[in-house]
Amino acid sequence: MGYPDQRFDVNLSILFTELPLLERPAAAAAAGFTAVELWWPWIETPTPPRAELDALKKALDDAGTQLVGLNFYAGQLPGPDRGALSVPGEESDRFRANIEVAADFAASVGCTALNALYGNRVEGADPQVQDALALENLVLAARAADRVGAILLVETLNKPESPLYPLVSAPAAIEVVDKVNAATGLGNAKFLLDLYHLSMNGEDLSQVIEAYAAKTGHVQIADNPGRGAPGTGDLPLERLLDELKDAGYAGWVGLEYKPGERPSADSFDWLPPSARAAG
């Protein structure tokens, strides 16, 4: 048990950001990792030119890295936005324009998990209207994901850092997951369980794992406080990941932490090199 018993991937939107996007897969591979994930890399556009999509695919292929998770278009992230799908008007339209683009790209690189960030509450917009729009867009996203053999992920964020984001507890995200599955009948909507965000919300992490491991499609970790590498804070991450495994979770664990002042490549000393390549 312990860290060597997990399947880790590196989030290239928070680690190795000192490098240009197309150099990050090779940097992750040089650090010993064979799996990576990404937020939507083109924050200005939901529909980047084909040449840019092809260049990212080539960078992943050349590095020998498997993309195991990809966000749909989520607005300015990193930045003030936390998704687009529940934001009426232009942002919702941009999310819809992105659905098939993201699904097709995922299919082209064998990625089977697509994360749809819910989006912030908007001043002056009726929350019920936003939630209805969200369900409509999540149903479209779930169907597109299913078309390419992927799952749709719904993520809880944390209230201190994302005060306008409505899904700031595990039950809130699970409720959305259940609604999407009920609407589509596909069963491919899953919970993205991020131990850092849940801990920031003060949730009982062991209780969340016990209750929702069966509905969890992806896990992300960072320590707390600080959102740094495991061992920089107080979270018993090794024990919690063991609890997930014991509860039946056998999926990926995304490293979504800040490396601090050091280069990203120096932030993995908590994980033996022999445990980095995912089988």
Amino acid at 28: A
Q: Which tokens hold the place of 101? A: 């683009």
Q: Which tokens hold the place of 70? A: 């990809």
Clarify whether 256 is annotated catalytic.
yes
Instruction: Give, rounded to a whole angstrom, the gap between the first and last alpha carbons of the chain.
Output: 16
Distances (CA, A) of 242 to 199, 247, 260: 17, 9, 26
Dihedral sign, Cα of residue 138, residue 140, residue 142, residue 145: negative
Bridge partners (DSSP) listed for residue 218: 192
**Catalytic residue from among 155, 161, 175, 203:** 155
Q: What is the DSSP letter of 118?
A: B
**Catalytic residue from among 37, 91, 243, 256:** 256
Residues with a catalytic annotation lie at: 155, 256
